[in-house]
Structure 1
Amino acid sequence: MTESHDHAGHDHSHAHGGHSHAPASFGKAFAIGIALNVGFVVIEAVYGVLGNSVALLADAGHNLSDVLGLVVAWVATVLAKRAPTARYTYGMKGSSILASLFNAVFLLVAVGAIGWEAIQRFGEPAPVAGKTVMVVAAVGILVNGITAWLFASGAKGDINIRGAFLHMAADAAVSAGVVLAGLVILYTGWTWLDPVTSLGIVAVIVWSTWGLLRDSLTMSLAAVPPGIDPTAVRAHLEGLPGVTAVHDLHIWPMSTTETALTAHLVIPAGHPGDSFLMEAAHGMKDDFGIGHVTLQVETDEATACSLVPDHVV
């Protein structure tokens, strides 16, 4: 849609085109993933106590945090689909960004507790039932692998879904490490390998979470979303027919899947028409994945820039 009106002697035109569709629904994936992981947490906790394994207890705690993370991510996907209101003019789309940030911070806090417990075990080693550890962790490979697969298709385009996928994939890898540790303990009696495995779990979680934390934090601060080059966007707009300058360019995430852009285009020849604005908006969508575009046309570069000196980008 387009709209035009006069203001302060300038023709301001806005084009909104190529709005992103609502993100794909992963409701079934969340429901199955949560159910599987709740059941697995119970199994790990019980056998972790019976087998005296801090590695299993640590992984149970981590999987419990993943259950909470899946719940938060699921709630965010539901809220993101709510219609805009007079107060929340973008709807609740930003909740998916907050969910991603919450999951990243929560996981990093959780690994601190896991690491501390593992370090204490070095000073007070305890016998570990290696066979029990292996069997339960093997179940974990299956549970986490299936859950990760459920989110694989959405991992590239949505950091909220990517967070769920990374956690589950990392857990599957960690469970494989626990199986290996249990095998070695079974044949060697090296109980120190149990806390070492726990520290390995910590390292994997931190490594897999860091990128999620970075991206969700920058998105929450309305930074240009990862994968979009603002220099390339500016160059694209400056290359449009009749455009002599671009200023007041802003690009920010509306959610983990939708991006908005506003910019002032200086076109001395005058208003280029609605078709120009729509084509420009579709170009932003096709080339950069920016679905909500607002373009303001101005004819006098010197006057236009002097009106917004604090917002020139």
Structure 2
Amino acid sequence: MSHDHGHQHHHHEPAQYGKAFAAGIGLNILFVAVEAIYGFFSDSLSLLADAGHNLSDVLGLIIAWAAVWLGKKLPTKKRTYGYKKSSVMAALLNAIILLIAIGAIFLGAIQRFAHPEPVAGKTVMIVAVIGIVINTITALLFMSGRKTDLNIRGAFLHMAADALVSLGVVIAGAIILFTGWEWVDPVTSIIIAIVIFAGTWGLLREAADLSLDAVPAGVDADAIKTYLEQIPTVLNVHDLHIWGMSTTETILTVHIVRSQIEDNDLLLEKLEKELHDKFGIEHATIQIEKGTYVCGLAPDNKV
């Protein structure tokens, strides 16, 4: 009976977003200061409240940045995968923060329906335009990585959501100033909240899946099993597990029963390369069995 383990280590560094995070955090802290100053001198509670809300965006960016930094730390005897999972935790936390913000927007809109408030003044609209510019610039810094890294997508959605909120303030304010239709303000807020929720739901679902070690989106587990089963000398493939070590790196473990084991090292080298090149598996652990005993992990429902 022989058990061979193939390990493949690709030191896959996440995209270098350090400067993007620093710029985004700096711009948003500056915007919070502008809102707080204008809010204080114009006696605008809405501006002061929005300044507080934008502090949560700074927190979201800090969380995402910390996860990227932690992901680069080396493994230890206790944390054998290092802190790579922190990117998944950051994406999940940012999704929850966004959902809380959406809830606050809905609540504010409902309250304005029940108790209409004066339309946002010109000062508020001017500050909102500044917000559109700053949040759009910050969102664009993370746009390229939003499709490949869930953690970066969380940062992108935070900024894009705030740009939408600021745009809503300007559009609603302009319409109300010209028409006097005060109901436009809460309606616009609800529409924006729905749009943000549509983007956040996907982030939340994927982050929750990754935190539960589900197969990452874009990885076809059936195709991987079929590929392994079609290799000559392979009699059986079982105990196949695929999960995300981080928001950018995928792990695979599997047991393979072979009719011959003399060329295990050559096969392992081939499998590790092709699993990486064809399916994006960054870290593969492969246990090869001769089939002279019944593996306790062979049943599909056995974990």
TM-score over 0.5 (shorter chain)? yes
275, 279, 288: which one pairs with 1:288? 279
User: What residue in structure 1 maps to residue 143 of structure 2?
Assistant: 152
Cα–Cα, structure 1 residues 307 and 32, in superposed 2: closer, same or farther, change >3 Å? closer
Letter of the aligned partner of 2:118 in structure 1? P
> Given that residues 17 and 291 in structure 1 are in contact (C-alpha distance below 8 angstroms), is that contact kept between their aligned partners in structure 2?
yes
Mapping of 1:1-313 within 5 angstroms?
Answer: 10-17=1-8, 19-45=10-36, 47=38, 50=42, 54=46, 60-300=51-291, 303-306=293-296, 308-309=298-299, 312=302
Paired with 1:248 and 1:271, the residues of 2 have a C-alpha distance of: 22
Letter of the aligned partner of 1:147 in structure 2? T
- 1:185-240 superposed Cα distances (whole Å, 9 cap, x missing partner): 12112222222232233222212211110011110111111111111111111122
Paired with 1:58 and 1:206, the residues of 2 have a C-alpha distance of: 21
Cα–Cα, structure 1 residues 26 and 37, in superposed 2: closer, same or farther, change >3 Å? same
Q: 1:118: how far off?
A: 2.1
> Given that residues 130 and 185 in structure 1 are in contact (C-alpha distance below 8 angstroms), is that contact kept between their aligned partners in structure 2?
no
Paired with 1:207 and 1:61, the residues of 2 have a C-alpha distance of: 24
Letter of the aligned partner of 1:290 in structure 2? I
Q: 1:62: how far off?
A: 4.2
Q: Classify the secondary structure of the residue corresponding to 1:191.
A: coil
- Greater shift in the superposed pair: 76-85 or 267-276: 267-276
Q: Classify the secondary structure of the residue corresponding to 1:73.
A: helix
Q: 1:138: how far off?
A: 1.6
Cα–Cα, structure 1 residues 51 and 195, in superposed 2: closer, same or farther, change >3 Å? farther
Q: 1:108: how far off?
A: 0.9
TM-score by length of 1: 0.88
Unaligned runs of 5+ residues in structure 2 are none
Q: 1:51: how far off?
A: 7.6
User: What residue in structure 2 maps to residue 7 of structure 1?
Assistant: none
Cα–Cα, structure 1 residues 167 and 271, in superposed 2: closer, same or farther, change >3 Å? farther
Cα–Cα, structure 1 residues 192 and 283, in superposed 2: closer, same or farther, change >3 Å? same
Paired with 1:180 and 1:194, the residues of 2 have a C-alpha distance of: 9
Letter of the aligned partner of 1:145 in structure 2? T
> Given that residues 141 and 176 in structure 1 are in contact (C-alpha distance below 8 angstroms), is that contact kept between their aligned partners in structure 2?
yes
Identity fraction in percent: 57
Cα–Cα, structure 1 residues 42 and 204, in superposed 2: closer, same or farther, change >3 Å? farther
Letter of the aligned partner of 2:286 in structure 1? L
Q: Classify the secondary structure of the residue corresponding to 2:219.
A: coil
- 1:142-165 superposed Cα distances (whole Å, 9 cap, x missing partner): 111111111122212110011111
- Greater shift in the superposed pair: 272-281 or 303-312: 303-312
Unaligned runs of 5+ residues in structure 1 are 1-9
Paired with 1:311 and 1:85, the residues of 2 have a C-alpha distance of: 32
RMSD: 2.3
> Given that residues 53 and 128 in structure 1 are in contact (C-alpha distance below 8 angstroms), is that contact kept between their aligned partners in structure 2?
no
Count of aligned residue pairs for this structure pair: 302
Q: 1:133: how far off?
A: 3.6
Q: 1:119: how far off?
A: 1.1
